[in-house]
């Protein structure tokens, strides 16, 4: 599923049968790219956190939870305090290899375990005219995630000088 399915989704209580909040944006752990939950907006402007483990079901109409009590105040989530304080956002994060900048994350897909599976990287305008406009990066290609960029494995295979010398007919 794509990241757009995580944004601005209604949160519906199964007990009351009504919408209790809006899941505004995902909370992502940058250390393992796991979606921990969502920052939610409550009626009245309060901000709460809905942990992924408290979601009973992802339904077309939104996120189904047992009760409004599943929405926690950020200060109550001591175990997740570090991740919440980081405020990591994957969208628009620059992606690069050791040799070059590739572009910025425009979207991502995730699996049923709520792990980010693939990054969709929008290429800079100057590169759009020479290659495809979007790169697809699998999570296995990610080497490092920092506050400033995502480092990925370079997929180009470079021949050594010895290999090139051996390939030229004498």
Cα dihedral sign, 65-72-145-91: positive
**Residue 166: band (very low, low, confident or very high) from pLDDT cuts 50, 70, 90:** low
Cβ 150 vs Cβ 96: under 8 Å: yes
More confident residue, 131 or 112: 112
- CATH of the structural domain 3-86, one choice from 3.90.50.10, 3.30.110.30, 3.30.420.40, 3.30.70.1140: 3.90.50.10
DSSP 138: E
Q: Give CA–CA dist 8/105, Å, rounded.
A: 19
Q: pLDDT-derived band of residue 131, with 50, 70 and 90 as boundaries?
A: low
pTM listed for this prediction: 0.81
Give me the residue spans of the domains in the chain: 3-86, 94-152
CB 69 within 8 A of CB 53: no
> Confidence class of residue 127 from pLDDT cuts 50, 70 and 90?
low
Question: Which class in CATH covers the domain with range 94-152?
Answer: mainly beta
Confidence of residue 60 (pLDDT cuts 50, 70, 90): confident
């Amino acid at each position: 599923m794509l990241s757009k399915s995580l944004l601005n989704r209604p949160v519906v209580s199964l007990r009351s049968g009504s919408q209790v909040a809006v899941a505004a944006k995902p909370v992502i752990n940058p250390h393992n790219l796991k979606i921990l939950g969502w920052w939610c907006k409550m009626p009245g402007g309060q901000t709460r956190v809905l942990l992924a483990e408290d979601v009973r079901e992802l339904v077309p109409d939104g996120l189904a939870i047992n009760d409004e009590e599943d929405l926690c105040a950020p200060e109550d989530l001591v175990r997740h305090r570090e991740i919440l304080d980081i405020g990591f956002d994957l969208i628009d994060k620059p992606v690069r290899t050791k040799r070059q900048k590739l572009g910025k994350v425009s979207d991502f897909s995730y699996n049923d375990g709520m792990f980010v599976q693939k990054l969709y990287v929008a290429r800079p305008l100057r590169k759009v005219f020479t290659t495809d406009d979007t790169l697809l990066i699998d999570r296995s290609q990610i080497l490092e995630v920092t506050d400033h960029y995502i480092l990925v494995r370079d997929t180009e295979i470079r021949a050594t000088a010895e290999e090139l010398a051996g390939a030229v007919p004498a």
